[in-house]
Structure 1
Amino acid sequence: MTRRHFLASAAAAALAIGLFSGAGRALAAEPIKVAGVYTVPVEQQWVSRLHKAATAAAERGDIDYAFSENVSNTDYARVMREYAESGYQLIIGEAFAVEQEARDVAAEYPDIAFLLGSSFKEDGALPNFAVFDNYIQDASYLTGIIAGSMTETGNVGLIGGFPIPEVNRLMHAFMAGVRETRPDATFQVSFIGSWFDPPAAKETAFAMIENGADMLYAERFGVSDAAKEKGVLAIGNVIDTQEQYPDTVVASAIWNFEPTLNMAIEQVRNGTFEAADYGTYSYMAEGGAELAPLGTFKGKVPQEAIDLVEARTGEIMSGDFTVEINDEEPKSQ
């Protein structure tokens, strides 16, 4: 148990309402006990959004929140079982590398709700296991429009962790946006084979810059560092890092996990939690995605691009425009 895990769980209530009690939410309802199991530090982009939402829910008094970070794949099921045995009612995390093991644990504890990031769908035979994903392709597409208007060479680099659907779809959406304002753009695409290896991401970015890229899609930490050092621009993913890179990060596609987690909390509280795909709660229309403020780049992005972003945003929110979801591995082109 890490020190942060201890501090987060120290205030956990001794008593908690039952998962499937069916009781309505009362003013003095006990907070729901929620545990996060993460394979990377909570500062990592993707996991930081889960942690942020859970921390906010804990501060509201809706949940008691504990978490374990840097859990290896081989230990993941064991940590899940420990939380299940300790009376936690909702377990969140990521099952991408431990899909079968995570589902096996859920089957052992049918009265506990599991909400895990997954590349696969829910299974009706496992009613307490729901899945989610960061479907923020809408915001990624909008950042692409901006990126295409800001690149001078039309040579754009994209660096990701692994070529899995949740990464692939964002890259494809970003490239589609770039083509809106730079139809002749070319793309360098590479994956570093890790979810958290800033040095590797940085070195890959250096190679792309050497090969002519003047705009980088920073799906991983480390990319923006390379962009900053070499004086090129970058687009952020999942979180807004412009404060750390005020002259480098032009725009970012933000993922808000709050709609996903809040729905799960409500369903656990009401005894209605079931196998489902929570992915739609990451859509822009649901408040799960947004374009970060331009900040230091306000006034520097061409007005034509701003106008197109505003028009597309309205169309996305109204349902008149749909960003294609393409989960296939993107290639350099």
Structure 2
Amino acid sequence: MRAQYRLGIVIAVLIIGLVVGLGVGALLFRVPATPTTTTVTVTVPKTVTVTVTASPTPTPTEKVRIAVIYVTPIEEPWNMALHQAMKWAEKHLNIEYVYTEKVHEADVERVMREYINLGYKVIFPHSWGYHPVTIRLAKEFPDVLFCQGSGPVDIEWPNNVLLYDYWIQEAAYLAGMVAGLMTKTNVIGVVTAFAVPDVNRLVNAFCAGAKAVNPDVKIIVTFIESWFDPVKAKEAAAAQIEAGADFIYAERYGVFEACREAQKKGKRVYAFGNIVNQNDLAPDVVIASVVWDLRPFIKYVVDMVRRGEIKGGIVDWGMKEGWAKFVWNEKLKEKIVPPEVVKKIEEAKKAIIEGKLKVPIYEDWDPERWK
């Protein structure tokens, strides 16, 4: 879905290039290592020619005040990825960061208005369900930058809304390759939340990576119908392990506990962390993590605000921009991962970054696709 609506973003930012993604005009922005003034012209096939002018970043002189609203507890990975990036920005970018967690959609307008009334000029409504309120308030407060965490792209967004989402399917594809190459039972699994577009992207990518190296592998996918229910996720993972799964993509919290218990019973079971680096949470279980690194995006936002600009658009960076990362648990890798598997993953990673390997994007869920 997000790969089909990328035109019209003209943002004065620090960039050294735009990348055309998926052959349909996705615009991906990069920040140069040193401040320069550059004009970049990119011809998008079958679309238009886009010109972007970048200007130097001013020296940070005053704090950029940022308020974030989370719909679930802060420890939920989708939230923690942004929280960690904000804590980093506090230290390195001179920002003021405040947040409110566990805000129901029915109450988010009140919370957003409170932050705006307190003078916060950058608001992060970090949930798909918040987007109707974001659109309404963005029109009412054109001098406030709203960074909306996921939402539909086939609608018209106000010019002061930046729409972002976790485009980590490239790293999830690599995780699928590891599972497909290393499974002993030829059964692997995914425990996830809902069959919604952003989740479907990474679940399908994991399945595609596994099937690319092991066409006969069986993949069990369980949707627990909750964004945060560790008990339910643990039960789903336990059922998959009972059915033979020995590698599980833990899109939700709770999977690691099931894997630990299975290991205590002598089973060879491993998992993949999701969104944040979870390797240390269960070092004997998590073989690698698929990481969403929001630090480049936060810098992008802060630099824009310091230049006195408020411009919206759609941000859908990938591995090339450092937005998505595949991070090995080095100790477990040395212990159980064959060198030839490591080599294949590094080769695939390099091919993805160079644009030679295109990870398929499916935003629907069709279980027949991966049988």
Q: Which category describes the TM-score, using the shorter chain as reference length?
A: 0.7 to 0.9
Which letter does structure 1 place at the counterpart of 2:71?
A: T
Task: Name 1:77's counterpart in structure 2.
Answer: 109
Instruction: Report SS of the residue matched to 1:114.
Output: strand
Task: Name 2:202's counterpart in structure 1.
Answer: 170
Residues 122-167 of structure 1 show CA distances to partners (whole Å, capped at 9, x for unaligned) of 8655111110010011111111111112211111111111111111
Two-structure CA RMSD over aligned residues (Å): 1.9
State whether structure 2 residue 319 is matched by structure 1 residue 297: no
State whether structure 2 residue 350 is matched by structure 1 residue 318: no
Mark the CA change 1:294 to 1:24 in structure 2 (over 3 Å): closer, same or farther.
Answer: closer
Which letter does structure 2 place at the counterpart of 1:97?
A: G
Task: Name 1:11's counterpart in structure 2.
Answer: none
Instruction: Report SS of the residue matched to 2:128.
Output: coil
Task: Name 2:213's counterpart in structure 1.
Answer: 181
Task: Give the C-alpha shift of residue 330 in structure 1.
Answer: 4.5
Which letter does structure 1 place at the counterpart of 2:298?
A: L
Task: Give the C-alpha shift of residue 248 in structure 1.
Answer: 1.2
Alignment of 1:223-242 (within 5 A): 223-231=255-263, 232-242=269-279
Mark the CA change 1:125 to 1:100 in structure 2 (over 3 Å): closer, same or farther.
Answer: closer
State whether structure 2 residue 360 is matched by structure 1 residue 328: no
State whether structure 2 residue 124 is matched by structure 1 residue 92: yes
Mark the CA change 1:78 to 1:330 in structure 2 (over 3 Å): closer, same or farther.
Answer: farther
Task: Name 1:30's counterpart in structure 2.
Answer: 62
Q: Distance in 1 between matches of 2:360 and 2:187?
A: 23
| Structure number having the greater strand percentage | 2
Mark the CA change 1:269 to 1:143 in structure 2 (over 3 Å): closer, same or farther.
Answer: same
Q: Distance in 1 between matches of 2:236 and 2:255?
A: 8
What stretches of structure 2 of length at least 5 have no aligned partner? Answer: 1-54, 264-268
Residues 222-281 of structure 1 show CA distances to partners (whole Å, capped at 9, x for unaligned) of 01111111122111111222222122111111110111121111112213331201122x
Instruction: Report SS of the residue matched to 2:248.
Output: strand
User: Quick one: which of 191, 194, 212 aligns to 1:159?
Assistant: 191
23-32 vs 94-103, greater mean Cα deviation:
23-32
Task: Name 1:16's counterpart in structure 2.
Answer: none
Higher relative contact order (CA 8 A, sep 6+): 1
TM-score (normalised: structure 2): 0.79
Task: Name 2:8's counterpart in structure 1.
Answer: none
Task: Name 2:174's counterpart in structure 1.
Answer: 142
- Percent identical residues: 36
Task: Give the C-alpha shift of residue 88 in structure 1.
Answer: 0.4
Q: Distance in 1 between matches of 2:258 and 2:311?
A: 44
How many positions carry a matched residue from both structures?
A: 309
Which letter does structure 2 place at the counterpart of 1:238?
A: I
Mark the CA change 1:330 to 1:77 in structure 2 (over 3 Å): closer, same or farther.
Answer: farther
User: Quick one: which of 304, 310, 320 aligns to 1:267?
Assistant: 304
Task: Name 1:277's counterpart in structure 2.
Answer: 314
Q: Distance in 2 between matches of 1:61 and 1:127?
A: 25
Alignment of 1:94-109 (within 5 A): 94-109=126-141
Residues 67-93 of structure 1 show CA distances to partners (whole Å, capped at 9, x for unaligned) of 101111211121111111111011113
Mark the CA change 1:83 to 1:178 in structure 2 (over 3 Å): closer, same or farther.
Answer: same
Mark the CA change 1:269 to 1:173 in structure 2 (over 3 Å): closer, same or farther.
Answer: same
Q: Distance in 2 between matches of 1:27 and 1:292?
A: 32
126-135 vs 266-275, greater mean Cα deviation:
266-275
